[in-house]
Amino acid sequence: MSYRNGERLSNEAKKRAKLRKLKNIMKMKNLKLNKENKTIIEENEKLRKRALLLHQENKAMFTQIIQQISQPSNYHNY
């Protein structure tokens, strides 16, 4: 009977060791994913700022075009 108890304890110890190992693996994967997520968020913020600048530039150019179209042309005087 003590053999079975020893065997059971041995199996429990193996299970705990395996769980610790899996926990460490998951912890490392989580750290890696968090780092990757942070990098993606930073890149997204850079792209968002760039998109805003391009949008503002586009609006300014559009306004210039509208102003040029709205001005009377000198071509009619010829």
Report pTM.
Answer: 0.64
At residue 2 the predicted structure's pLDDT band, cuts being 50, 70 and 90, is very low
Cα gap 49→27, rounded to integer Å: 33
**Total number of residues shown for the chain:** 78
Q: Does position 26 have pLDDT exceeding 80, yes or no?
A: yes
Number of domains in the chain: 1
Q: Is 71 left (phi over 0), alpha (psi -120 to 50) or beta?
A: beta
Residue 72 domain-assigned (yes or no): no
The domain in which residue 38 lies consists of 2-59
Residue 50 domain-assigned (yes or no): yes
Q: Does position 71 have pLDDT exceeding 70, yes or no?
A: yes
Q: How confident is the model at residue 75, as a pLDDT?
A: 59
Residue 27 domain-assigned (yes or no): yes
Residue 74 domain-assigned (yes or no): no
Residue 77 domain-assigned (yes or no): no
Q: Does position 77 have pLDDT exceeding 70, yes or no?
A: no
Q: How confident is the model at residue 8, as a pLDDT?
A: 73
Residue 68 domain-assigned (yes or no): no
Residue 67 domain-assigned (yes or no): no
